[in-house]
Chain A
Amino acid sequence: MMQAREVGAEIPEIEVRIPSRAEWVALARLAVATVAARMHFNVDEIADLKLAVAEACTNAIQHARESDEIVITCRIYHDGLQITVRDFGIGTEAERIRSRDLGEPRVGGLGVYLIRALMDEVEYRVERDSGTVLTMFKRFGDSSR
């Protein structure tokens, strides 16, 4: 469960909509990097945020059937940044939100594993008729701000 938090900025929410296509994932991660830089996350944290949002978008593109759009929402809180990535695919497979074991070198599940490793809080909500929402939160580190 995501913790309840206080909004931490005059403009607390920024939304970016991208087509559900591989060539637009770069826009999502650059937008999130810009927000994170404005919030004074450090370079390593910004890299983590870029990768996490890109993995979430990639997951949506690869698994969400009949979804034309991905909506990325950044919410600025006093202790960090919350990002939601929503797709509108139907019939979401349980496999897509499952992390993987790292025992064997293989491809599937690495993205979800990375998201969970890089972010402080992660929550998936699958809505059968309206898509999937991934909510993730990154706290400011000691060297941020």
Chain B
Amino acid sequence: MARVDIQMQVRSVNGSIAVVSLDGEIDVYTSPKVKDFIGKLIDKGTYTFAIDMQNVRYIDSTGLGVLIGGLKRVREHGGAVTLVSTNPQTRKIFDITGLIKVFDIYDTVDEAVNALK
């Protein structure tokens, strides 16, 4: 059965880019966990993120809010955020809300990381 929760992992590329992998559903219950996870990385001085959402099966406005909040914080430090998703529903939500113009969304992690170099 699919998880109605969120699993989060981070790995570092070239010492400065954090690849955050999210697995599960991002809603009003789980988005605070994502916010906390990314927020702690920012607090420690990571300002460049590739967020892998390939295994995110659901995201709502609270999840979008976490991504927007994270982007605003890293931009204050000259950082950037790229996203990875080929999920049509996820892309549709970014499209409807106009966030497709705010976030660069790539098909693979490699593409998202290379865009940050």
Binding site for B on A (CB under 8 A): 22-23, 25-26, 29-30, 44, 47, 50-51, 54-55, 57-58, 61-62, 102, 105-107, 110-111, 113-114, 117-118
Contact = CB atoms under 8 A, between A and B. Distances in A.
Nearest to A106: B68
B60 A58 contact: yes
Given A51-B58, A114-B97, 7 more contacts: A44-B89, A50-B58, A55-B61, A57-B28, A58-B60, A105-B71, A110-B97
B29 A25 contact: yes
B56 interface: no
B102 A105 contact: yes
Q: Please name the 6 residue pairs, one residue from A and one from B, whose CB atoms are nearest each other, closest first.
A: A107-B65, A110-B61, A102-B98, A22-B29, A111-B61, A58-B28
- Majority SS of interface residues in chain A? helix
Given A23-B29, A26-B27, A105-B99, A58 B89 contact: no
A26 B58 CA distance: 10
Interface string B18-59: 000000010111000000000000000000000000000010
B64 interface: yes
Contacts of A55: 60-61
A115 to B, nearest CB: 9
A61 B102 contact: no
Interface of B: 4, 25, 27-29, 58, 60-62, 64-65, 68-69, 71-72, 88-89, 92-93, 96-99, 102
Contacts of B58: 29, 50-51
Nearest to A54: B60
A121 B64 CA distance: 24
A58 B62 CA distance: 9
A22 B28 contact: yes
B97 A102 contact: yes
A23 B25 CA distance: 12
B27 to A, nearest CB: 6
A113 B97 CA distance: 8
A110 B65 contact: yes
Contacts of B72: 105
Contacts of A29: 27, 58
6 contacts: A26-B27, A44-B89, A110-B64, A110-B65, A114-B93, A114-B96
